[in-house]
Chains A and B, each alone.
Chain A
């Protein structure tokens, strides 16, 4: 892993202006080595600009950023030798074939012709891209192109990988493939910084998440912390027998000490519970409620404690929805 460093990324008041617009506004981030860090926000929130500053493509107008302890402006070359970037739009030469792209990058990383070719072949094999070897990139499907793009980023496995919206526009199957690849890359010890507009993507992959809106970080933490920050979780209960619903309601409201809501479905009930004073106590209270239900002889077919979706978190934090189709996709609770 080269130089030992606890933090892959540290920024202090990182700022970038484009003309009169402040694209990135005093962003402070710390990303621990070996983790996946999710950078979540709608289009134009400043995610890509932040990544481009960290990847030495754009000079900050204010503040500092360090990657593995190296300043991104003064020690740009040291940063470049540790990172790889997969852009929002395929960072590949569209005119060349898959193998030619990988050989090109291998050569630029210092491989000999033969080893660049061997490495390219190996990566195509591993990523299930054998048919992309001789085909021009522009003739590949979206999913294949994205996988090739990631393969191109690990010709030499970087210590820090920037993935800018890696699954935007992909079908669910391709998206799952990309997720699996990302997990394997992290398991290998690489730190990943991922931007996404998909709330569930950050939820699935990232151990910590920063939410950015209009250039400012408006929340930061684990996905659980972010959800807990808006204060509520939800209990969903389904019964075997609708006749028992009034009993269930009484038992639940006593055990949880909150009002219980009767759903339109005659066997379903739900209740919102607060995470105060602490998250684990909420769990205990809910477990107690389940025990009480079974003691009262209520037959339960489904019992779930859920957190609010990141969509709800985003809405609560910003006062507006993250993005239209993301909001439709995640129906919330």
Chain B
């Protein structure tokens, strides 16, 4: 039983030894470069897990079709007329709903060993999360394109022109990016992706439904109107409508949306980073 270590097959050879000579470290990547690398990782996830996108987009598509044809005639005289009102709303709703995956994705990530590896690397510390959100923004953009394309097929005509549409999408993406930080906090606080999903669903559905996405809030009871008028989603939808349909910037709404975005990012981004640093 003296240590005998002769009979082991040599499976690694000279090529491994030469591969191990790569000891020189390239210079450390910049914060932007590291974040973009993580963004690329996020995009690859869409390639491998496309259903993540599909089930969130299904809801607005069903809502768009259902409301347009079921209630369009009753609510606005004809489905075609109602679609012009509804589509900017479902666009906002879609993107806002897709944001919840930022939290579940991060929650899954943090519990896997790969995040330990990232955290032992000499990179800009927030890069894994900022990068993941970059990837998410690309996902939001893709969702926006899908909803707008569906609208165009059904007869939606954005009279605000291309610039108006682009500005509207940019505003939606800015809001969605800042909202994502709320979910990253949840993703780091809660134990399982399912828990993150439940909490974000419970928050997001009232937030998107109790707004002016489907109907003008003037017919709603007073207490509900009170909520709807402070709901940032309402302001985002109003701003989106005026950009897409009239090509005009509704200054009050846009600044309200931007203010909320800055506030959300200002509170939840540092909180995310604090939780991320102290995650054991």
Binding site for B on A (CB under 8 A): 1, 52, 55-58, 77, 80-81, 83-85, 87-96, 100, 104-105, 107-112, 115, 119, 122-123, 125-128, 136, 152, 154-157, 176-177, 179-181, 184-185, 187-190, 203-204, 223, 234, 304-307, 309, 333
Q: In this complex, which of A77, A91, A92, A204 has the most chain B Cβ atoms within 10 angstroms of its Cβ? A: A91
A306 surroundings in chain B (CB, below 8 A): 1-2
* Pair A85/B25 contact, Cβ less than 8 Å: no
- Contact among A83, A125, A180 with B120 in the assembled complex (CB-CB below 8 Å): A83
* Pair B15/A125 contact, Cβ less than 8 Å: yes
What 0/1 pattern do residues 17 to 54 of B give for CB contact below 8 A with A? Answer: 10111111111110001100100110011001100000
Per the bound structure, the CA–CA distance linking A108 and B114 in Å amounts to 13
* Pair B34/A108 contact, Cβ less than 8 Å: yes
Per the bound structure, the CA–CA distance linking A87 and B41 in Å amounts to 20
Binding site for A on B (CB under 8 A): 1-3, 5, 8-12, 15-17, 19-29, 33-34, 37, 40-41, 44-45, 48-49, 112-114, 116-123, 127, 280
* Pair A85/B116 contact, Cβ less than 8 Å: yes
Q: In this complex, which of B1, B8, B9 has the most chain A Cβ atoms within 10 angstroms of its Cβ? A: B1
A110 surroundings in chain B (CB, below 8 A): 25-29
* Pair B120/A109 contact, Cβ less than 8 Å: no
* Pair B48/A95 contact, Cβ less than 8 Å: yes
B45 surroundings in chain A (CB, below 8 A): 95-96
* Pair B1/A304 contact, Cβ less than 8 Å: yes
A88 surroundings in chain B (CB, below 8 A): 113
* Pair A57/B2 contact, Cβ less than 8 Å: no
* Pair A157/B34 contact, Cβ less than 8 Å: no
Complex A-B, nearest 8 residue pairs according to Cβ-Cβ distance, in ascending order:
A306-B1, A110-B26, A91-B113, A188-B20, A87-B113, A91-B117, A81-B122, A80-B122
B16 surroundings in chain A (CB, below 8 A): 126-127, 181, 184
Shortest C-beta distance, B38 to chain A (Å), equals 8
* Pair B19/A107 contact, Cβ less than 8 Å: no
* Pair A87/B1 contact, Cβ less than 8 Å: no
* Pair A204/B12 contact, Cβ less than 8 Å: no
B1 surroundings in chain A (CB, below 8 A): 234, 304, 306-307, 309, 333
* Pair A107/B37 contact, Cβ less than 8 Å: yes
B119 surroundings in chain A (CB, below 8 A): 56-57
- Contact among A104, A107, A156 with B33 in the assembled complex (CB-CB below 8 Å): A107
- Closest-by-CB residue of A relative to B18 is A126
A109 surroundings in chain B (CB, below 8 A): 25-26, 29, 121
A127 surroundings in chain B (CB, below 8 A): 12, 16
Per the bound structure, the CA–CA distance linking A52 and B45 in Å amounts to 28
A185 surroundings in chain B (CB, below 8 A): 20
Shortest C-beta distance, B203 to chain A (Å), equals 26
B11 surroundings in chain A (CB, below 8 A): 128, 176-177, 180
Contact sample, A vs B, 7 pairs, CB 8 Å cutoff: A55-B116, A94-B112, A111-B26, A126-B19, A156-B24, A181-B16, A190-B20
* Pair B29/A107 contact, Cβ less than 8 Å: yes
Given A177-B12, A204-B5, A122 contacting B37 (CB threshold 8 A): no
Per the bound structure, the CA–CA distance linking A96 and B37 in Å amounts to 14
Given A111-B26, A126-B19, A187-B17, A152 contacting B8 (CB threshold 8 A): no
- Closest-by-CB residue of B relative to A87 is B113
* Pair B116/A57 contact, Cβ less than 8 Å: yes
* Pair B48/A136 contact, Cβ less than 8 Å: yes
- Contact among B41, B117, B120 with A96 in the assembled complex (CB-CB below 8 Å): B41
- Closest-by-CB residue of A relative to B10 is A180
A81 surroundings in chain B (CB, below 8 A): 25, 28, 122
Shortest C-beta distance, B132 to chain A (Å), equals 12
* Pair B29/A123 contact, Cβ less than 8 Å: no
Apart from A92-B117, A154-B22, 17 more pairs, CB < 8 Å = A1-B23, A80-B120, A85-B116, A87-B116, A89-B112, A126-B19, A157-B22, A177-B12, A179-B8, A180-B8, A180-B9, A180-B11, A181-B16, A184-B17, A188-B17, A304-B1, A333-B1
Shortest C-beta distance, A139 to chain B (Å), equals 11
- Closest-by-CB residue of B relative to A182 is B12
Shortest C-beta distance, B22 to chain A (Å), equals 6
Per the bound structure, the CA–CA distance linking A94 and B15 in Å amounts to 27
- Contact among B9, B24, B25 with A176 in the assembled complex (CB-CB below 8 Å): B9
